[in-house]
Structure 1
Amino acid sequence: MKKVAITEQEFKEAVSITKQEKENFKARQFTEKEVEMYHMKKFIHVYRLYELGIQAECYRQINEFRLSIGYKEWKGHRSLSRLWNKPFDSLEWKYCDDWDW
């Protein structure tokens, strides 16, 4: 599989939470912790999608990201390891197969 290049700005846009996702958080009554975990899973998903590095490098970058958006730094690698292979289910409508309301 060919590695796709992504700029730092494109990466930031890809991992940011959209208005649609925020509306889904409210509709599904997500807790603050669920929103945080969704955000971290999205970061890991984009990181792995573009094959930007190994878990150790992702851990360093996700901690920088967490601090920049107001979350506490992860103290250990275990939190990342648990989420690394978990599937990411996007709450953006464009990925939800035209839900029937």
Structure 2
Amino acid sequence: MDPPVLTRESRLSRPQQRSGPLFEAQEEHRATRLRESHHLRYYLPGPIAEQVREKDREITARDGHERVVRIYPPVEEKPISKGARSSSCNYHEGG
């Protein structure tokens, strides 16, 4: 990146605070939102269908952090020409 741009960005960006009343309020708000949306956690409503498996995997995001993804692949692997359907992969908790 251009050095003048980096200098300007370094003046504009503040280091993230990990303590203090604002940080605690943000964490409390985040926890409340997670509790309120827990029922939305599962992409597939109701019990998992017999044609679909459910498994959790960890992937490494671009920022280096591990993310848990839930994958719903079909139980019977079919070639696309035989009417195979794509699986679903959901993840949450990231920017």
Same fold by TM-score greater than 0.5:
no
Question: Which of the two has greater strand per residue?
Answer: 2
Q: Greater RCO between the two (CA within 8 Å, min separation 6)? A: 1
Larger radius of gyration: 2
Q: TM-score, normalized by length of structure 2?
A: 0.23
